[in-house]
């Protein structure tokens, strides 16, 4: 019989929640194994702004300088008719909503997309001895009075092995296998009747939004209504709501996207 690995805590999912938890446990002297089915950190920006409470948690982990170096002032929202338009209107500056100075050493918000937060947290986790395994997926698991017994799959080789853990933590996102397996219900409104399509494309978008690289743009004209952001460098991302099966996508013209 193959020997089982034993860990105090098995964390499933290396998004912001799983990576942060691994560091918080390590700070308390609790070892964990963190498994992630992706092969690497997320390059999608996804969660873009960190609020002051999250910044305080990272401060408590001794990561203030790393997070501030990776981040920028909070992302604002501007309205333009087309991405190439020179006229724009500021629609939202979240920093102006509240002054956090009286109650926090951190600003209200910082622009630090998940594609930047995850590498900072991963570097810290590995440097502090957390056992982080990418390309590694949680398979079936059971629990008894003693421990959780989980099958873990190495996606690179297809081989699986068994990990025994005192605790299993499902940090595996919105469609959590851990939560579904344990039939843990959710509360609230359930699935919202709102659907969006996200498109990532590489072009010299930054020439059209120079000086506003961390901001978002609501593109609104008779053909299109959707948000555009720069994902990282020349990767741009557009997203639009899909309504009544009728999809309207931002369509930057070839002449308005230099280098495309």
Ligand X SMILES: Cc1cc2nc3c(=O)[nH]c(=O)nc-3n(C[C@H](O)[C@H](O)[C@H](O)COP(=O)(O)OP(=O)(O)OC[C@H]3O[C@@H](n4cnc5c(N)ncnc54)[C@H](O)[C@@H]3O)c2cc1C
| Angle of the 114-127 helix axis to the 16-27 helix axis, nearest 10 | 30
Nearer to ligand X, 109 or 208 (CB): 109
Least distance CB 18 / ligand X (angstroms): 6
Q: How far apart are CA 147 and CA 78, in angstroms?
A: 52
How many residues make up the chain in this entry? 260
Which residues are registered as beta bridge partners of 199?
238
Start-to-end C-alpha separation, the chain: 57
Q: What is the 3-state composition of the chain as percent helix, strand, coil, each rounded to the nearest 5?
A: 20, 35, 45
Least distance CB 258 / ligand X (angstroms): 26
Least distance CB 222 / ligand X (angstroms): 26
Ranges of beta strands (E only) in 124-224 are 131-133, 136-143, 148-154, 160-170, 195-202, 216-220
Least distance CB 86 / ligand X (angstroms): 26
Region of residue 201 (left: phi > 0; alpha: psi -120 to 50; beta: else): beta
Binding site for ligand X (CB under 6 A): 12-18, 35-38, 46-48, 114, 137-138, 171-173, 177, 198
Nearer to ligand X, 15 or 250 (CB): 15
Nearer to ligand X, 37 or 59 (CB): 37
CB within 8 Å of 63: residues ≥ 6 apart: 120, 121, 124
Nearer to ligand X, 46 or 84 (CB): 46
Least distance CB 200 / ligand X (angstroms): 10
Cβ–Cβ under 8 Å, residues 43 and 115: yes
Nearer to ligand X, 100 or 171 (CB): 171
Least distance CB 193 / ligand X (angstroms): 17
Q: How far apart are CA 27 and CA 58, in angstroms?
A: 12
Least distance CB 194 / ligand X (angstroms): 13
Nearer to ligand X, 1 or 192 (CB): 192
Nearer to ligand X, 149 or 256 (CB): 149
Based on the number of CB atoms within 10 Å of its own CB, is 77 exposed (0-12), middle (13-18) or buried (19 or more)? Answer: middle
């Amino acid at each position: 019989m193959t020997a089982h690995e034993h860990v105090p805590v098995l964390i499933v999912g290396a998004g912001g929640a799983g990576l942060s938890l691994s560091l918080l446990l390590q700070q308390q002297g609790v070892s964990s194994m963190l498994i992630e089915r992706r092969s690497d950190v997320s390059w999608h920006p996804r969660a873009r702004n960190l609020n002051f409470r999250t910044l305080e948690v990272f401060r408590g982990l001794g990561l203030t300088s790393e997070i501030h170096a990776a981040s920028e002032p909070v992302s604002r929202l501007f309205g333009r008719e087309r991405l190439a338009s020179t006229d724009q209107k500021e629609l939202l500056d979240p920093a102006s909503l509240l002054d956090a100075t009286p109650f926090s050493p951190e600003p209200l918000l910082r622009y630090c997309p998940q594609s930047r937060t995850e590498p900072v947290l991963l570097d810290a986790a590995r440097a502090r001895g957390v056992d982080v395994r990418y390309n590694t997926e949680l398979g079936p698991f059971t629990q008894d009075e003693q421990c959780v017994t989980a099958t873990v799959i190495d996606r690179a080789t297809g081989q699986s092995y068994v990990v025994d853990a005192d605790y299993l933590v499902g940090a595996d996102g919105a469609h959590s296998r851990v939560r579904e397996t344990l039939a843990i219900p959710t509360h609230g409104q359930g699935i919202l009747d709102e659907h969006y399509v996200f498109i990532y494309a590489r072009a010299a978008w930054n020439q059209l939004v120079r000086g506003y690289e961390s901001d978002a743009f609501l593109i609104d004209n008779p053909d299109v209504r959707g948000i555009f952001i720069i994902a990282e460098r020349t990767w741009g991302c557009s997203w639009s709501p899909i309504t009544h099966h009728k999809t309207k996508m931002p369509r930057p013209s070839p002449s308005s996207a230099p280098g495309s």
